[in-house]
Chains A and B, each alone.
Chain A
């Protein structure tokens, strides 16, 4: 599957997830993204870690809304009013709104996750338009320096500790910060020289393997664009109502055309890898 069609799919999923407050549509986007990750995600790409992280983020969003929003008619429990911020009634409506918020966060994150969990980093750079290829490569290389710099900081701090260094005051920190910065600069210079020795910037980027745009990529891109465009049109014209559970919890209104627009995102999951 081409990375460009995957990017079009991710953009469509993100547009739908962020343009509605209706948890039903968000749930459809989330399930479509989950299907895509399970069907086409690379092994060892950290899918499980991402899912756990998203679960924790959703849980935090739910708890924060439940504890801080004291609006709603159905009171689950009352915390003493003396407790700052969270004191007061905790309501069923706040819990539902928090869960819907968490669902929105999860849907948005899962919509863009295939860009890193399905595609290889070099495929992402290849997918960029030609004018952005060099910038993309430079930004990608710079981002790759972050984990290296973090590792370097840990190593330098441990080495300094072995020499008796202790972080007691702010003025003690340059003993670690200066070597870390120097190491990062040195790493950047080494990377630049390595890229230059490989003729980076002298011509168009060469490829070990070229991604082919298959007919299925056209199907994926067109259905994703139709889904997002149709959904946005329905939102603008009031055909895809949002959802607001306050003051009394009610079931979200569902528009079948909007639902079908969201369901179009399942198309890339239907192609089974051979």
Chain B
């Protein structure tokens, strides 16, 4: 079987690859730098308990009198995804790439993200609305636990000390300005490079096929 791959086609393939790489360079833009929570008059602690039991604490600072739950999560810099549930607001479907993929945000059986709030240093209480409908004041805490829906149903670890350590070595965030999740320290990942090359080569090949089709006509 004879295969045709003219030089012009190769050039088009290369052009397509370059175009794909240029498009992928958008991810190289530097992330928004977040200020320390200690510089803000109000602070809210965020505690996230992942499926493997590991806990992540963040202290989020803000200027207004209150802050919504999803703004806290967004300002924390953690990757997350939500889905709207009508008047209840947004439900948390994914945090820090957990689960890696999902088809239903709150499955009838299986793990899901349970939302808790702690008011004024009190105990954790399960939230009765979605994260976008939760309003938090200074000193409150927001907790998320990846609940396996089987076995015991404990609350997340205590938020005590999450904001106290903000001024020192705690992983602080403090601005409610949206920061793109996963953008911090991003570069061209190998997977993105492969995707750009594959898409570029396929686009170039389509142009070659178009030229050959016209030549045959």
Contacts and interface: CB of A to CB of B under 8 A. Distances in A.
A35 B203 CA distance: 8
B187 to A, nearest CB: 12
B147 to A, nearest CB: 18
A239 B84 CA distance: 25
A200 interface: no
B3 interface: yes
A137 interface: no
A21 to B, nearest CB: 9
A270 B81 CA distance: 40
A9 to B, nearest CB: 15
Main secondary structure of the interface of A (DSSP, over half): loop
B212 A272 contact: yes
Given A38-B206, A235-B101, A246 B4 contact: no
Interface stretch (B119-127, B166-174, B190-198): B190-198
A106 interface: no
Contacts of B192: 251, 254
Contacts of B101: 235, 238, 240-242
Contact of A28 (B102, B183, B199, B210): B199
A240 B99 CA distance: 12
Contact of A266 (B1, B181, B202): B202
A39 B202 contact: no
B194 A254 contact: yes
Contacts, number: 100
A117 interface: no
Interface stretch (A55-63, A159-167, A255-263): A255-263
A212 interface: no
Contacts of B217: 43
Nearest to B102: A242
B181 A38 contact: no
Contacts of A173: none
Contacts of A247: 70, 74, 81-82, 90
A272 B2 contact: yes
B79 A250 contact: yes
B66 interface: no
Given A238-B100, A248-B178, A270-B3, 6 more contacts: A38-B209, A250-B182, A254-B194, A259-B195, A271-B1, A271-B3
Task: Report, nearest first, the 5 A-B pairs whose CB atoms are least far apart.
Answer: A38-B209, A31-B202, A238-B100, A254-B191, A241-B101
26 contacts: A24-B199, A28-B199, A31-B205, A32-B202, A34-B206, A35-B209, A38-B206, A38-B213, A39-B209, A73-B74, A235-B101, A244-B94, A246-B82, A248-B180, A250-B79, A250-B181, A251-B26, A251-B27, A254-B189, A254-B195, A256-B191, A256-B194, A263-B202, A272-B3, A272-B4, A274-B2
Interface of B: 1-4, 26-27, 70, 74, 79, 81-84, 90, 93-94, 97, 99-103, 178, 180-183, 189-192, 194-195, 198-199, 202-203, 205-206, 209-210, 212-213, 217
